[in-house]
Amino acid sequence: MSRATQPVNRFVGLTFIPDNERMEVPPAWFLARLHDYDADLVVLPSRARPFAYVIARRARMSQGLTPKAIDETITQPDTRMCFKYGLVPVCLMFKHGPIWNADTILQRLAARDTWAHGGGEALATALDREEADARARDKEALRDKFRHLSREAYRSYKQRTGQRTIVPGPSRHGAAITSSSSSTATGVTLA
């Protein structure tokens, strides 16, 4: 089906910016799912990677950089394109085969979405907590390692110096040690 005979996709210009005429336009249901998930998401064909699409979000907090600042500082073509349209790049998407899979894309976007996880401050606090927990685990593992090494060193020292390393008493299996001699057990007496 040629582009001229295809039905009009109402999400072109809203959720998809056709920056490259040679790239396939995502179907309306795919763009509708992205729009339903987040109305600020936009899909653009990549200028840097063949057969890739850039998923970007509309900039909310700032107007972005001036064209002169973009020309002087940013060299990556996809980032420049996103800034030109007032977008912030989020990730790249590749279409594999004839099927568009919105579920996989939405799952990955949900896992990366800082606003869905409470914003930047909440994520920074969670990362700091995870790092502190990891440091505490590492410290405890090192402490356990040194305790084990010091016990082994003490046992080695006691053994090398001829000192007792095991206290006499019942065997480890719980049986009491009997002190009968072989001469009284056989009835032989020595003169």
Task: Write out pLDDT tens, residues 14-37.
Answer: 677 887 778 888 888 888 888 888
My answer on whether 79 and 36 are in the same domain is: yes
Q: Are 109 and 139 within one domain?
A: no
| 116 pLDDT above the threshold of 80 | no
User: Per-residue pLDDT for 124 more than 80?
Assistant: yes
How confident is the model at residue 20, as a pLDDT?
A: 76
The parent domain of residue 143 ranges over 118-159
CB–CB of 45/23 below 8 Å?
yes
Residue at 132 is within a domain: yes
Q: Are residues 137 and 100 in the same domain?
A: no
- Determine, yes or no, domain membership for 131: yes
Residue 102 in domain:
yes
143 within some domain:
yes
Judge if 51 and 102 occupy the same domain: yes
Complete DSSP assignment for 21-75: TTSPPPPHHHHHHHHHH-TTEEEEE-SSSTTEEEEEEE--S-----HHHHHHH--
Residue 179: its pLDDT value, please?
Answer: 53
Q: Looking at the structure, do residues 38 and 83 belong to the same domain, yes or no?
A: yes
Taking only Cα atoms into account, the Rg of the chain, rounded to an integer number of angstroms, comes to 36
9 domain-assigned? no
* Domain total of the chain: 2
The residues, ordered by sequence, that sit 6+ positions from 68 with a Cβ below 8 Å of its Cβ are none
Q: Which pLDDT belongs to residue 140? A: 96
- Same domain for 147 and 88, yes or no, is no
Summarize the confidence of residues 68-76 as an average pLDDT: 76
Indicate if 137 and 91 belong to the same structural domain: no
Residue 10: pLDDT over 70: no
Arithmetic mean of pLDDT, 132-157: 94
Neighbouring-strand partners of residue 57: 41, 88
Q: Are 150 and 107 within one domain?
A: no
Answer whether residue 6 is part of any domain. no
25-29, 101-105, 163-167, 175-179: the lowest-pLDDT one: 175-179
State whether 122 and 64 are in the same domain: no
Among the listed ranges 63-67, 78-82, 101-105, which one has the minimum average pLDDT value? Answer: 63-67
Do 49 and 106 lie in one domain? The reply is yes
Residue 174 lies in a domain: no
Do 102 and 39 have their domain in common? yes
**Percent of the chain surpassing pLDDT 90:** 14
pLDDT number for residue 97? 76
Sign of CA dihedral 30, 32, 35, 41: positive
Residue 57 lies in a domain: yes
Q: What is the pLDDT of residue 165?
A: 63
Residue 51 has pLDDT above 80, yes or no: yes
Is the pLDDT at 188 greater than 60, yes or no? no
pLDDT of residue 69: 73
Dihedral of the alpha carbons of 75, 79, 81, 86, in degrees to the nearest 10? -130
Tell me, yes or no, whether 132 and 107 share the same domain.
no
